[in-house]
Amino acid sequence: MIIDFHTYVGTSMLGQESTEDELLQNMAENQVDISVICPVKTTDPFFERQNEYVSDLQRKHAGKLAGFCRIDPNLGKDSEKILRESVQELELKGLVLHPWEETFAINDKKVYPFMEICREYGLPVLVETGYPWLSHCFQVADLAERFPEITFIMSHGGQFDSSGYALTDVDHVMDRHSNLMIETSGDYSDEGIENIPERLGYDRLVFGSHFPWLNTELEIYRIQRADLTDEARESIFYKNALRLLK
C-alpha cells in the first residue's frame, strides 16, 4: 500500500496545473492507493473556492483522496473563519501552509490563532519547509515547541539546501521535538531518509511526491532503494500516514 501525503490539484496562478483526471491517472500508474490533496494558489486570496474544490474531490473519491485545506494567515479573522468552515462543513482532514507563496514566517505570532484551531480539532499541519527566513526547520521547530499537541509535517525532508549542511539542522530539531515529522519528496540525500528511522524509529516519516511538481515514480523508487528495513519502508509508505488521517 502507498499513501502519497503531498500532492496538489488545480490550476495555479504560478503556472502549474494538475487536473482531477491527471491526478487519478498518476495514482493508477504508480499504484498509489490514497493521495492527500492540497489546494493550489489562485487569484482567490482566501482559498475558499480551492478548499471547496478539494472537498468535492474528497467526497467524490471517498477512501481514495483525503483533502487538506489552505489559508493565508495574513488575512486574519477571515482566514480563521475559513479554516473552521473547512473542518466543520467541508470535512477536510488537515491544514497545509505555504509560507513562501503566502509570504509569512511560519513562526510569526499571526500564525498562532490558526494553530489554536488546529489543536482544537486535532488537525495535522503540513508545512512547505526549507525557505530561508520563512520556513527553515528551526522556525518550524519553534512553532512545534509552542504547540506540542499538534503534529507538524515538514515537507521535502525539512530542507532545500543541497550542500547537505541543513541535514544537521533537521536532525537537531527532529531529536528535540517529537511532534515533528518529515515528508520525503525532493529529499536529495538517502541519508535524510535512512538516518531518522535508524535513530528515532519508524514513525517520524511519511512518503510524499509533491505531484505535479516532482515525479511520483522517482519519489517511490527512492524509498524502495533506500537502506531501510521492510517495517520502516511500510511505515513510511502508509502506516504513519494512516495514523495522521484518522
Sheet holding 205-206, edge to edge: 17-18, 3-11, 34-39, 65-70, 94-97, 125-127, 152-154, 180-183, 205-206
CA dihedral 125, 130, 135, 136 (to 10 degrees): 120
Tell me the average pLDDT across 52-79.
98
pTM for the complete prediction? 0.96
pLDDT at residue 165, rounded to an integer: 63
pLDDT at residue 192, rounded to an integer: 77
Question: What is the per-residue pLDDT across 84-132, written as a single tens digit (0 to 9) for each?
Answer: 999 999 999 999 999 999 999 999 999 999 999 999 999 999 999 988 8
Neighbours of 110 (CB within 10 A): 13
Tell me the average pLDDT across 34-61.
97
Domain at 3-244, CATH homologous superfamily: Metal-dependent hydrolases (3.20.20.140)
Question: What is the per-residue pLDDT across 209-228, written as a single tens digit (0 to 9) for each?
Answer: 999 999 999 999 999 999 99
**What residue has cell string 482531477?**
20
Please check the confidence at residue 154 and state whether its pLDDT lies above 80.
yes
Contacts of 43 (CB under 8 A, 6+ apart): 13
Question: What residues does each domain of the chain span?
Answer: 3-244
pLDDT at residue 160, rounded to an integer: 66
Please check the confidence at residue 158 and state whether its pLDDT lies above 90.
no
For the four alpha carbons of 39, 34, 186 and 125, in that order, the dihedral sign comes to positive
> Whole-number mean pLDDT of the chain?
95
Neighbours of 141 (CB within 10 A): 24
**What residue has cell string 525539512?**
158
CA 92 to chain centre: 14
Q: Half-sphere exposure (CA, 13 Å, Cβ side) for 183?
A: 27
Question: What is the per-residue pLDDT across 69-86, written as a single tens digit (0 to 9) for each?
Answer: 999 999 999 999 999 999
Tell me the average pLDDT across 175-199.
89
Contacts of 198 (CB under 8 A, 6+ apart): none
